[in-house]
Amino acid sequence: MLVLTVTLNIQPDKAEQARPVLQDLVSTARQMEGVQTFNLGEDLQAPGVFHISEVYDSYEVKNAVESCDAFTTVIAAIGSSFIGPPVVNIYQAAKTE
């Protein structure tokens, strides 16, 4: 199992534009086979800061999400609005019950 945490820092005045394309990515990813969790949260005290948590069955599933149309739409729509590169942490985890 692969666990990712992602923090996106977007220009605060571009947050309104970013929100719907990020929400579309969440909806698309949640429907893909092998995606266990895909959540989006926006920092309430820091406009333009978005946190994403993702859990995949494998690297192949992660790569499939990053190749989907919704992901490329995010990059095309808001890629120039990033204040800096996304902060991504990747963890390998054992499945627990």
Extents of the domains making up the chain: 2-92
Query: Is-above-0.85 flag for pTM?
Result: yes
Is the CB of residue 21 less than 8 Å from the CB of residue 71? no
User: 22: closest CA among 1, 53, 60?
Assistant: 53
| Digit-coded pLDDT (tens) for 56-82 | 999 999 999 999 998 999 889 898 999
Contact 61, 34 (CB under 8 A): yes
Percent of the chain with pLDDT over 70: 97
Architecture of domain 2-92: 2-Layer Sandwich (3.30)
Q: Nearest Cα to 1, choosing from 68, 82, 50, 56?
A: 56
Placement of tokens 């019950």 in the chain: 97
| pLDDT of amino acid 18 | 93
Query: How confident is the model at residue 96, as a pLDDT?
Result: 65
Confidence of residue 93 (pLDDT cuts 50, 70, 90): confident
Res 38: pLDDT:
97
Task: Determine the pLDDT at residue 79.
Answer: 87
Specify the pLDDT at position 97: 65
- In this predicted structure, what is the pLDDT of residue 94? 77
Angle at 78 between CA 68 and CA 37, to 5 degrees: 45
